[in-house]
Amino acid sequence: MARQNRACIVGIGQSQYAKWGSIKEVSELSLACDAIIAAANDAGISPKAIDGFASFSNDRNEPGVLLNSLGIEQLRFTGMVWGGGGGGSCGSVSLAQAAVESGQAKYVIVFRSLCQGQSFRFGQFHPWTEHACFTAPFGMLAPPQMFAPLVRRHMHLYGTRSEHLAEVALSCRSYANRNPRAVMHDRILTMSEYLSSRMISDPLRLYDCCLETDGAAALLVTTWERARDLKGVPVEILASQQSSGHLWGTGILGGHNMPSATYASANAKQLAEDLYGRSGVGPEDIDVVQLYDAFTGMVLFALEDFGFCELGESGEYVAQGNLRIDGKTPCNTSGGILSEAYIHGLNLVLEGVRQLRGHSTSQVETAKLVLVSGGESVTPTSGLILGV
């Protein structure tokens, strides 16, 4: 495909990020519109020119309502990635890429809006969900309880320690302390505070678990040909993909019937192969990563599945400081889901764009290639490789 017809991200935007339940005077729809308008303004187009929407995880802001709220002149494309949580965060970008490269739409907005204090809250036990009948009898009523066995298995197999999980949390918090947009911007975290924090679901402590926040994030996808006439600095989508491994089924959200060989993993080994194959790069070429971090253990699993270290070596890899800004694999440089905001991972894509534009609050000077992962250990998961 000629470069002018390939997809790029040309605008990013976000609403205020705040602790869940603290935004009472603004609706979830309004938050979505704030982020979408900001992304359109960043690109230099009128919101009326948007002609497509893509989202994931059953976002409640329906295209027909956004159409009228934003004054859109013609809607040509809508798409939603199935699956719970943030597994579809990068997959929604893939939908937008397909829409603009195939000519179905010109300007597609990818967005995620959450205002859990006003409606359904993710992470609580909801007996009407299709997974509850499999997990509830075993006390797996919330995601920390569902994910904890995978981390314990990793510890059993490879000697992973709580201090290794702590390094993920501390690294993300240190980046958030540089980021004024982060919910935890002014909250320092130390190793002693981490180790003394309460146990949520053994071996996961309080700081191993992501934030619960309200807010919205959005990005605008178009072709390089159109991007030439816009003010936004374009970032190329080198590869995007959804994926799941064999027999994973509903993964941690369901029966825990994944194969033993991949149980303590990100369910992303094949995804990594697809992304590297389609982009023509390898893990040694990646300058920055944005790895979905609903739990610290997810980052360890992703480092292994995406080839930044060998199986079972992620604990020591992070202990060497490799997630820090001067390490081999700077990770979640806005603070991630653990310390910036829980927007189901779409905020990680925005940070990847900022790194490649040179606008991050923890800028990696050599950033030319960024890998972003969707929610690990779920079905489907997804990923992106972005470049300039």
**194 is annotated as an active-site residue:** no
Q: Are 200 and 343 in contact (CB under 8 A)?
A: no
CA distances from 315 to 48, 92, 289, 325 (A): 48, 31, 17, 18
Token pair for 86: 């943030």
Which residues are registered as beta bridge partners of 383? 241, 373
The DSSP result for 299-349, as a single string, is: HHHHHHHTTSS-TT-HHHHHHTTTTSTTSSS-B-TT-HHHHT--STTHHHH
How many other CB atoms are there within 10 angstroms of residue 127's CB atom? 8
E strand segments, the chain: 7-14, 18-19, 52-56, 77-81, 108-114, 199-201, 204-205, 213-223, 235-243, 288-290, 369-373, 381-387
Q: Of the listed 17, 276, 317, 342, which one is catalytic?
A: 342
**107 is annotated as an active-site residue:** no
Q: Of the listed 107, 207, 292, 317, which one is catalytic?
A: 292
Q: Which residues are catalytically annotated? A: 292, 342
